[in-house]
Homo-oligomer: A and B are copies of this chain.
Amino acid sequence: MKKTFFTAGPAELYPTFEAHLRSAMDEQVGSISHRSQQFRDIYKHTDEQLRALMNIPASHGIFFLGSASEIWERVLLNCVEHESFHLVNGSFSRKFYEYAQSTHKYAHILEKSFGQGFSYNDVEIPEYAELVCLTHNETSAGVQMREADMHKLKRSNAKKLFVVDMVSSAPYPDLDFKVIDSAFFSVQKAFGLPAGLGVWIANDKCLEKAERLQKYDDTHIGAHHNLPTLWKNYQKFETPATPNVLAIYILGKIAADLNKIGAGKLRKETDSKAKILYKFLENSTNFDPFVTSPEHRSATVVVANTKVPAAEVMAALKKQNLVVSSGYGAFKDSQIRIANFPATSSEQVEGLVAELAKFG
C-alpha cells in the first residue's frame, strides 16, 4: 500500500511523474549529451512551460542549479558587493541570512518571531542594502508574505535588486516579474518531483550587477554557476556543467500538465484545499492554526499546533498511510506541518482531515 505524502518537501510526487519518467527512460534521456540538440530542445521546452505557467517575461533568464540552497549562495555572490537585507521569520529565511554572513557580506536583518509575517508597513530597507531578500513562503513556520506587499516594497525601493524565495510555494504566488528581479524554487515541493534540481529566475539587472562585480579584485562571484556563465550558456539553451537532465525533462512535462489546468485554476484549487485545512483547524479541539494572522497564513504549508504530541498524531496517520511533516526545530513535538501542493487532491485533503478529526 502506497503512502500519501503531505510533507513540506520532498513531497508527494505529481500524479503524472511516473508516466513522464517512463517516457524519459524510453527516450534514453539519462544518456544523452548535454551539448546535443536533443538537450537544447528539452531545456527550451521546460523554459517555455515555466514562462507560461509563471508569467516570466523575456527580461528574465531561467537557470538550472543543484538546489534552492545553492541559489541562496549564488544570488548573494552575484548580486551583492557589500550589503544585503533579509526579512527573517523562520529557519529558512534565517539560513538565507546566514549564507550572506558566511560569504562575508554585511547582512542586515529585520526579524519577526516564528509564526509572524511581514507586511509592507513593517519594513524599512537600509539605505545601502543592494539586494533585498524576501521569502514568499517560510516553510518552517507556514507564513506567507503577500505578493502585493512585495511588489509595493520594490516599487518604493526601485533601485535595489529584489529576490523572492518561493521554494515551497512556486508556482502558486502570482509574482509580477516586471517588478521582481529574481526568484527561485526547488522541484521537490509544489512541482512534485524528487529533489535534485533548483530553478533560478533572474533578470538583466542581476546580470549587469554580476558582470560589474566580476571585474573587482576584492570580491568574487564564484566560479561554478556564476550568473554571467549561466546566462551565456542559456543563450543556446545549454548549461555550464552537466545538469540533472532527467529532472529538467520531467519538470517541463509537469509544468505542461499544470499549464493545461491553468495557473489561475491551480491557485483556486490550492486556496480551496487550504480553506478545508484551516477551517478544520479552527474548529478542532486538539488542533489550532499556528499562524494567527489570516493574511500571513500559508496556502501551501499549513502549520498546526497540536495538544496531543505530534509523534502520536503522526503515528496514527502513518497507520492510514498518510504522512505529514513534524513541526520544525523546537516545535517538533507541538506542531505538525501539512503541505498543500497540486499533487494532492481535495479528496485526499478531506481524507486527511477525517483522520485528524479523530483527535477531536
Binding site for B on A (CB under 8 A): 2-3, 5, 7, 9-13, 17-18, 21, 25, 28-34, 65-70, 72-73, 76, 98-104, 186, 188, 193-197, 217, 220-226, 240-247, 323, 325
A224 touches which of B99, B226, B323 (Cβ 8 Å): B99
A10 touches which of B10, B194, B222, B245 (Cβ 8 Å): B245
Query: A30-B194, A220-B104 in contact; A70/B76 too (CB < 8 A)?
Result: no
Q: How far is the CA of A103 from the CA of B68 in the complex (A)?
A: 21
Residues of chain B within 8 A (CB-CB) of A223 are 72-73, 76, 98-103
Would you call B33 and A25 a contact (CB within 8 A)?
no
Q: How far is the CA of A28 from the CA of B3 in the complex (A)?
A: 8
Would you call B103 and A220 a contact (CB within 8 A)?
yes
A67 touches which of B13, B18, B242 (Cβ 8 Å): B242
Q: How far is the CA of A65 from the CA of B241 in the complex (A)?
A: 13
- A sample of 14 inter-chain contacts (CB < 8 A) reads A3-B31, A10-B31, A10-B242, A11-B31, A68-B241, A69-B241, A70-B224, A98-B223, A101-B223, A104-B217, A194-B246, A195-B245, A195-B246, A196-B246
Would you call A5 and B31 a contact (CB within 8 A)?
yes
Would you call A66 and B69 a contact (CB within 8 A)?
no
Q: Chain B's nearest CB lies how many Å from the CB of A152?
A: 30
Would you call B18 and A25 a contact (CB within 8 A)?
yes
Q: Chain B's nearest CB lies how many Å from the CB of A38?
A: 11
Would you call B186 and A73 a contact (CB within 8 A)?
no
Contacts A73-B222, A103-B222 known; list 4 others, CB within 8 Å: A29-B194, A69-B241, A99-B224, A195-B244
Q: How far is the CA of A18 from the CA of B196 in the complex (A)?
A: 18
Residues of chain B within 8 A (CB-CB) of A102 are 220-223, 226
Residues of chain B within 8 A (CB-CB) of A241 are 67-70
> Closest residue to A8 on the B side, CB-wise?
B33
Would you call A67 and B66 a contact (CB within 8 A)?
yes
Q: Chain B's nearest CB lies how many Å from the CB of A307?
A: 24
Q: Chain B's nearest CB lies how many Å from the CB of A252?
A: 15
